[in-house]
Structure 1
Amino acid sequence: SRGVISTKQVFRAVKERGIDPRKIEKFIQELAWRDYWQQVWIANGSKINQDLRREQPNFCHHKIPKALVKASTGINAIDEALDKFYETGYMHNHVRMYVASIACNVGGSHWRVPARWMYYHLLDGDWASNALSWQWVSGSNAGKKYYANQQNINKYCRTHQKGTFLDVDYGSLEKAEIPEVLRESSVPMLETPLPEKKSIEIDPELPTLIYNFYNLDPKWHEDANYNRVLLMEPSVYKAYPISSKSVEFMLGLSGNIKGIQCYVGEFDELVETYGIREAVFKEHPLNKYIGREEPRDWMFEVTGYYRSFFAFWKKCQRELK
């Protein structure tokens, strides 16, 4: 997500080891999901911030159950995963789906507020993967909602809990009232603790590489002579806030880029203040930069919007060789 390693690099490394991609197709498919969500974002832009395919069915409010925020749902595997999530900034994909299902389909939340809360804390947060996966679970980007009951959670989290509000069959779960433990809800205050704004040094005779939260590639033009700026635009982090741990993670990764400087401010301000003649940046839907745009690495040549992942994947399979 931070642009340090691309799906294409992983795919190339697999082939260089002599592994037939067709024999690990499920693994390659998981990588392709990331590229797919990015293609959806490129095609739809800010529309992914709203219900993409249809209005989310049967939601009750635009909040998140406090029990999820406090890791006190009573579902042991979920509460333990949430505690670890706050500690590490990571969460297994299955558990992300369980949390989304509890918030939206059991707790009555519209997907957007809880999706923003999760993105805020994820060190590997990618807004497209996050928002569109929440929409898939909640039914606004899919034909039906995704549910996980206690039996499912026990199976994949290797627990043996019984007697919870999820310990019912799927038919009963879909018809159930909101459990008491999920009824109290709130809108979390999510603000990005940006670093202090400091002056930087720019050689106006050199082009300037613009890095950001989604591009911290240490190999990007690594042997060329450029100004290198990690741009932290307050407008972006107001719209898509991230936690202090995510900020620290980003700054830590930027330390792998020789000569990089951090600038807190908008792109136009950077250009005007330092007389930047040529800005160079990698394509990304959040960028509103002016200059020379370079493409990102994609695992396959397939681009454009497909309504379903498997329509996209069917095209990608032709390149599995």
Structure 2
Amino acid sequence: MPIGEAEKLIQELAWRDYWQQVWLAKGEAIHTDLKQEQWPVSNNQIPKAIVEASTGIEVVDAGIRELYDTGYMHNHMRMYVAAICCNLAHSHWLTPARWMYAHLLDGDIASNQLSWQWVAGTFSNKKYYANQENINRFFYSRQRDTFLDVPYEYFGQMETPEVLKENRALKVAFNLPQPSKPVTIQNKNTLIYNYYNLDPDWHREEDFQRILLLEPSLFEKFPVHQKCIDFAMGLADNIPDIQLFVGEFDALLTQISPEKIIYKEHPLNGHYQGIQEPREWLSNVIGYYPSFFSFWKKCKKELLK
């Protein structure tokens, strides 16, 4: 891979680490406008045209259908969708962000919430827009005469397009799986896996009881569609002898002593008890940086020697 392409790939991975570091520093505040309030905001829902993939922007509608079908969406397309929701339909970013997260197989709460804030201008110095010319260039389309087919300077004074005026509340339906066979939990040294840690190589050759913990309270707070849960269960199949426990961590403590529990650090694991192990990072650069590029400047020195 050419040096320039390798650097770009590493930089994209570094964004994910950066968002996680912001989450660690800001905690629950990442679910609110971080640097400044979003303005203007006309609703706390999501445009119906986004949900139904009927915006009239051909590649955007195709991208939404692909998200529904596969659980994936190109990074540029995520920004286009966010810009339409926040900066043209004037939906507050939180509900559309939750909608997108609920469909993404690679969904990451920090990356998702903070990327939407970056587009909405609540965690950046300005709002992000993409016009039809930009979309055509990056997605090799030729569509014209859409509500996005305007010069960039027009966006700031643009009224909400008619197709974006009707909104919907967020609805996410899912069912947490139940163990296919009786769970036999012993009070012995135990590795706790969860929706964010399904690493098949974690203490791979060592003798541990391995439990996949799915807490209903987590999925009520951050719901995902069934496709995402099924995907996670498929990843768990790569972990030998793992057992499924659907319930809260406190319920697990009635069967396993805290001193026998080992888990990986993550912002969602703050209520866990036991031995916390560090997670893997791309670099040794840790802590809060006010912008990605101040963070990347440090990472780059270490990663691109």
What TM-score does the superposition give when structure 2 sets the normalisation length?
0.96
Whether 1:65 and 2:70 are equivalent positions in the alignment is: no
Q: Which of 145, 157, 164 is residue 146 of structure 2 equivalent to?
A: 164
Gaps of 5+ in 1: 1-18
Matches within 5 A, 1:219-234: 219-234=201-216
2:272 is matched with: 289
Whether 1:87 and 2:34 are equivalent positions in the alignment is: no
Counterparts of 1:46 and 1:275 in 2: how far apart (Å)? 29
- Residues 183, 244 of structure 2: 8 Å contact kept: yes
1:303 is matched with: 286
- Residues 21, 28 of structure 1: 8 Å contact kept: no
Whether 1:28 and 2:10 are equivalent positions in the alignment is: yes
Counterparts of 1:171 and 1:267 in 2: how far apart (Å)? 52
Counterparts of 1:269 and 1:152 in 2: how far apart (Å)? 52
1:9 is matched with: none
Counterparts of 1:23 and 1:94 in 2: how far apart (Å)? 17
Report the 3-state secondary structure (helix = DSSP H, G, I; strand = E; otherwise coil) of the residue aligned with 1:286: helix
Would the alpha carbon gap of residues 303 and 275 (structure 1) be closer, same or farther in structure 2, given more than 3 Å must change?
closer
Q: Identity of paired residues, percent?
A: 54
CA positional deviation for 1:60: 1.2
Counterparts of 1:243 and 1:143 in 2: how far apart (Å)? 33
- Residues 191, 238 of structure 1: 8 Å contact kept: no
CA positional deviation for 1:307: 0.8
Report the 3-state secondary structure (helix = DSSP H, G, I; strand = E; otherwise coil) of the residue aligned with 1:307: coil
Counterparts of 1:281 and 1:192 in 2: how far apart (Å)? 26
2:236 is matched with: 254
Residue 280 of structure 1 aligns to which amino acid in structure 2? I
Q: Which of 159, 162, 170 is residue 180 of structure 1 equivalent to?
A: 162
CA positional deviation for 1:203: 2.5
Residue 53 of structure 1 aligns to which amino acid in structure 2? K
- Residues 30, 113 of structure 2: 8 Å contact kept: yes
2:197 is matched with: 215
Residue 220 of structure 1 aligns to which amino acid in structure 2? W
2:117 is matched with: 135
- Residues 73, 182 of structure 1: 8 Å contact kept: yes
CA positional deviation for 1:276: 6.0
- Map Cα deviations across residues 114-134 of structure 1 (whole Å, 9 max, x no partner): 000000000000000000000
1:279 is matched with: 261
- Map Cα deviations across residues 156-194 of structure 1 (whole Å, 9 max, x no partner): 111000111111111112211100100000112124321
Counterparts of 2:292 and 2:166 in 1: how far apart (Å)? 35
2:131 is matched with: 149
Q: Which of 202, 227, 234 is residue 245 of structure 1 equivalent to?
A: 227
Counterparts of 1:282 and 1:184 in 2: how far apart (Å)? 43
Would the alpha carbon gap of residues 199 and 92 (structure 1) be closer, same or farther in structure 2, given more than 3 Å must change?
same
1:97 is matched with: 79
Report the 3-state secondary structure (helix = DSSP H, G, I; strand = E; otherwise coil) of the residue aligned with 1:156: helix
CA positional deviation for 1:314: 1.1
Counterparts of 1:25 and 1:107 in 2: how far apart (Å)? 35
Counterparts of 1:235 and 1:246 in 2: how far apart (Å)? 17
Counterparts of 1:277 and 1:121 in 2: how far apart (Å)? 36
Residue 314 of structure 1 aligns to which amino acid in structure 2? K
4+ runs of 1 displaced by more than 2 Å?
Answer: 19-24, 196-199, 273-277
Residue 102 of structure 1 aligns to which amino acid in structure 2? I
2:89 is matched with: 107
CA positional deviation for 1:27: 1.7
Report how many aligned residue pairs link the two structures. 302
Report the 3-state secondary structure (helix = DSSP H, G, I; strand = E; otherwise coil) of the residue aligned with 2:267: coil
Residue 233 of structure 2 aligns to which amino acid in structure 1? L
Residue 318 of structure 1 aligns to which amino acid in structure 2? K
CA positional deviation for 1:196: 3.0
- Residues 280, 292 of structure 1: 8 Å contact kept: yes
Counterparts of 1:23 and 1:261 in 2: how far apart (Å)? 41
Residue 213 of structure 1 aligns to which amino acid in structure 2? Y
Would the alpha carbon gap of residues 307 and 188 (structure 1) be closer, same or farther in structure 2, given more than 3 Å must change?
same
1:8 is matched with: none
CA positional deviation for 1:61: 1.0
Residue 277 of structure 2 aligns to which amino acid in structure 1? E
1:77 is matched with: 59
2:184 is matched with: 201
Gaps of 5+ in 2: none
- Residues 207, 276 of structure 1: 8 Å contact kept: no
Q: Which of 282, 293, 296 is residue 313 of structure 1 equivalent to?
A: 296
